[in-house]
Amino acid sequence: MDRIKIAPSEISWFLLGIMTDIVLIILAGLLGGVVARLLHQPLILGYILAGVLVGPHTGGATVIDTQSVEQLADIGVALLLFSLGLEFSKKDIRSIKGIAIYGTLIQVGLTIVCGYLLTRYLGWNNSSSLWFGLSIASSSTAVIMKTLISRGNMNTLSGKLMMGMSIVQDMSLIPLMILLLQLNRQEGVSIIGVGKPIVYAGGFILMMHVFGSKIAPRLLLFIARWNSRELFSLAVVAIGLGVGLVSNSLGLSFAFGAFVAGLVLSDSDYGHKALTELVPLRDIFGLLFFVSIGMLLDVRFLVDHLDDVLFLFVLGAGLRGLILAMTGWFFGYRRVVPIAMFFGMLAISEIAFVLIRTGLQTGSLGEYEYALILNTVVVSMLVGPVASGLTTPFYNFVRKHISHNFKVKNISIVTDPLTDHVIITGDEGAVRSIGVVLRRVSLPYIIIEPNHNVYRQLKHSHLNVIYGDPTRENILASAGISRCRIFLVMSTDTEQRDEVVHRVQTSHPSAQIITRVETLEEMRKIRREDWIEVIHPDFEAAFEIAHQVLARLGVSGADIQNYLTAARRELYAEPDRLKLPALDLMDHLDRATHLLAPVWFVVPRNSSFIGKSLGQIRIRYIYNVTIVGVMRKDGFIQNPGRNFFLEERDLLAIIGQPKDCERFVQAMK
């Protein structure tokens, strides 16, 4: 048989066409991303709209080789899910396995039934109705992940739940699709035909567990010894795509294999390094995927059948969102979580494209039904990122107009009224650490914990804690908010943090609030509010590292404190140039005080203030500064009184206006 010969000129034109398409997609994606940012929307929304503009169904500049672009987009999906597996540790899945596994299976089954009944009502046949129910049963993992990252909610409880459930949704659809294909076969259902892919999937996961725990880490260790970032990045991509190819050859999903590869590597020593190297390439190929989604949208068909598409989207995706919210509520997740699951998981999964394409090829779906489902999926991906932004305002509405009618269960075990104390709420690890430190230095505190399991653990650790919702007035009253000195909010959940801060500000405007922030945008937003101080974990980690380095270089303790004070002043006050924030609470709790911009100074040997009391020096009246602490060899003296006498080499903590502090320091010399 003669081989088919392709002329070099044809190859050149083919490569030129691919290059032109990719350049056009990148330029359109850049434009769409800029527009999305200007409108304060996630980038993927701009990418999908860019795909609509350069797709084959619209005029103007058009991508020619759509098939090759879709193949590159498949790589983008694989890299997205590979990075998701690296970022989403198995420990995260274990912590939510109840709802992530059992809750998701219940939700998938109910959604398929609802989708089937909905389309049967529209007059579809049994086969098409089953394929529709299957196609809308899962939420888009890629859309959810990109939306959570862009909004800074990836590490929140609702974010972990949405990611975990969407992953299990996709995994559950693979055997269901195989079963549906067997049901549609004219010769009947084959036990071997159904069982073979399931056995392959189980064997593949077992093989990947061995590969991820034994072989891949050793391979990456071997590569890492050369300290070549380029070679390490290539090895990471090769592992992700190579495993995806093996998965595809076994009849499983290419993207599913890549995700499993990332998941088994996530807990290894090289998981974080692999994710760091993969992100730039993932984002570029992810752009191709979302643009290719937009290219699938047939605007003319959508306009002609807009009522049908919107009907399927509103009822199909809406019912799935409602089932998800009810599932979350049934499994004990309250407050903002069910609402976040409803709005955040509206986008239908990208696996639906594989499902309906398979249904069309096997004759299980008609072309009209295929086009309707296709446009419904694309519309859901367009609406999904926008809808996720409705979570906070809708939750605020519910909390204001509805939830106040519900009784709040709480346990208050504060027998003696606390005064001048610290109230702490937020993530378990942070509140536990702060509570332990405060207890050791004998400072009064109370922890408010809304999760009963965490509450019991904190009580078991002998910490002072009450159980209840920190946004409820009776809980705040039980914690003694009217008498507290500081209200500390250490939550990484943006909605939860804003809700608590808003409630405390509204009901007790005199309370001094200190809250944790994760991003510079959050810090800028919160710093616009009076009486709210912020703590940025990245800043504080850098300050601690600087403290250790300077100490080992022989810099005096007083100079180190002054350097760090200046650094905090610049980093925290720069975003909006507002009032200075409180210094890091954890850095000064062991000295039993909470200081605002202190200046640390050592009393010199020949100072005229040695042997004099603070009352004799009259520093508050003459210099307009206050000594809030003194460090001596025998310990730390908090808020020394007017009868306190200064000694040589005392380390003084002074607060006041910078010019007044400088004037006092010069007088002391």
Q: What is the pLDDT of residues 532-565, one digit of tens each?
A: 778 777 777 777 777 777 776 667 777 777 777 7
Looking at the DSSP bridge assignments, the partners of residue 630 are 637, 652
Mean pLDDT of 224-229: 76
Count of helices and strands (H, E) across the chain: 32, 10
Instruction: Measure the CA–CA gap between 159 and 494, rounded to whole angstroms.
Output: 11
Q: Are 448 and 411 in contact (CB under 8 A)?
A: no
Q: Specify the range with the lowest mean pLDDT, choosing from 9-18, 222-231, 457-466, 622-631.
A: 9-18
Chain-centroid distance of CA 455 in Å reads 24
Task: Give per-residue pLDDT as tens, 612-639.
Answer: 888 788 777 788 788 878 888 767 787 7
Residue 182 pLDDT: 66
Residue 570 — very low, low, confident or very high, per pLDDT cuts 50/70/90? Answer: low
DSSP 364: S
Neighbours of 188 (CB within 10 A): 8
pLDDT value for 586: 39
Q: Above 80 in pLDDT, residue 51?
A: yes
pLDDT number for residue 510:
74
pLDDT computed for residue 107 by the predictor:
93
Contacts of residue 356, Cβ cutoff 8 Å, sequence gap at least 6: 131, 135, 365, 370, 373, 374, 377
Cα distances from 305 to residues 115, 317, 521, 607, in angstroms, run 19, 18, 41, 88
Q: Is the pLDDT of residue 476 over 90?
A: no
Whole-model pTM: value is 0.58
Region 571-586: mean pLDDT is 45
Share of the chain above pLDDT 90, in %: 6
The pLDDT confidence band at residue 527, using thresholds 50, 70 and 90, is: low
Q: Show the beta-strand stretches assigned E in 369-482.
A: 422-426, 445-449, 465-467
The predicted pLDDT at position 630 comes to 85
State the SS3 of 232-285: HHHHHHHHHHHHHHHHHHCCCCHHHHHHHHHHHHCCCCCHHHHHHHHHHHHHHH
Is 414's pLDDT higher than 50? no
Q: What percentage of the chain reaches a pLDDT higher than 70?
A: 79
For the segment 316-328, what is each residue's pLDDT rounded down to a tens digit? 888 999 999 999 8
Q: What are the helix (H) ranges across 556-618?
A: 557-573, 585-588, 614-617
Identify the CA nearest to 424 among candidates 516, 505, 336: 516
Averaged pLDDT score across all residues of the chain: 77
What domains appear along the chain, each with residue ranges and CATH number? 68-399 (1.20.1530.20), 422-552 (3.40.50.720), 598-669 (3.30.70.1450)
Instruction: Evaluate if residue 7 carries a pLDDT over 60.
Output: no
More confident residue, 44 or 269: 44
* 330, HSE (Cβ side, Cα atoms, 13 Å): 14
- Determine which helix (DSSP H) or strand (DSSP E) holds 342, and give its type and residue range: helix 336-344
> Each residue of 361-405: pLDDT tens digit?
778 888 888 889 888 988 888 888 888 888 878 887 877 766 554
Position 469 pLDDT exceeds 80: no
Q: Which amino acid is at 21?
A: D
CA angle 279, 282, 286 (to 5 degrees): 140
Q: Which of 366, 429, 382 is nearest to 95 (CA)?
A: 429
Please give the Cα distance from 152 to 536 (Å, whole number). Answer: 14
